[in-house]
Amino acid sequence: MIRTAFALVLTLLAGVACERRAPETLDARDSAVADSLARAQQDSINRATPGYVVDSILPVEEEIRRFTADLPSRPTRLANGAESRDALVRRWIAAVEQGDSLTLIHLAVNRPEFALLVYPSSPYTKAPMRQPPWLVWRLLSDASVQGFRRTIERLGGKPLRIVDWTCPNEPDVQGENRIWSNCRVRRVRAEGDTLSQRLFGPIIARDGIYKFVTLATEM
């Protein structure tokens, strides 16, 4: 069941090519993603250094054009989201407790939404954080795939016993998007044992629709 759902994630995210891997290979893949994140962060630092010269980067408009050339759809609104942050988190809780993989997948931003609604107004289109859309999407989708897998394997089909949840930071306004980061939930694991965890990634709101930027988790 988990393997089937994991394969479905890769199909729907439509940007991550991945073979079936043994558990030990998945650990190596996690390390590779961490290395990619570190390289991207270092590249942003390099770009902010006085005297740094970009000699082979394409204009943002051209990078977006190339990244969107093969999209199966061109959305103008977020789809399959919720009408509020509370409603989104409630849907996530219900989907996890029911082991509903398809709903979990639909609650996260997909590649067409990222390409046309998220990336163009993100910090990654300007220095010092400038990164091409394909790289940002790869890192986000890798985080979603890993988070989805861990959530289903470790929490799926079980009562989560959520006490409450919070996004303590003010939203980051990026064009028409508002993004809340560092959202955490408190849940009861055993009597007298309440745990605070980041079980999903940032929440994005656009035109009154709320979704997760990723399904990343700190588990």
One digit per residue, the tens of pLDDT, for the chain of length 219 reads 444 443 444 444 443 333 333 333 334 334 444 444 444 445 544 444 444 444 347 899 999 999 999 998 899 999 999 999 999 999 999 999 999 999 999 999 999 999 999 999 999 999 999 999 999 999 999 999 999 999 999 999 999 999 999 999 999 999 999 999 999 999 998 888 899 999 999 999 999 999 999 999 998
Which residue range(s) make up the domain with 139?
2-47+59-212
Per-residue confidence (pLDDT) for residue 191, from 0 to 100: 81
The number of folded domains in the chain is 1
Residue 185 lies in a domain: yes
Cα separation, 17 vs 39, in Å, equals 20
Q: Is residue 54 part of a domain?
A: no
In a domain, 98, yes or no: yes
218 is a domain residue: no
What's the rounded Cα separation, in Å, for the pair 196 and 203? 18
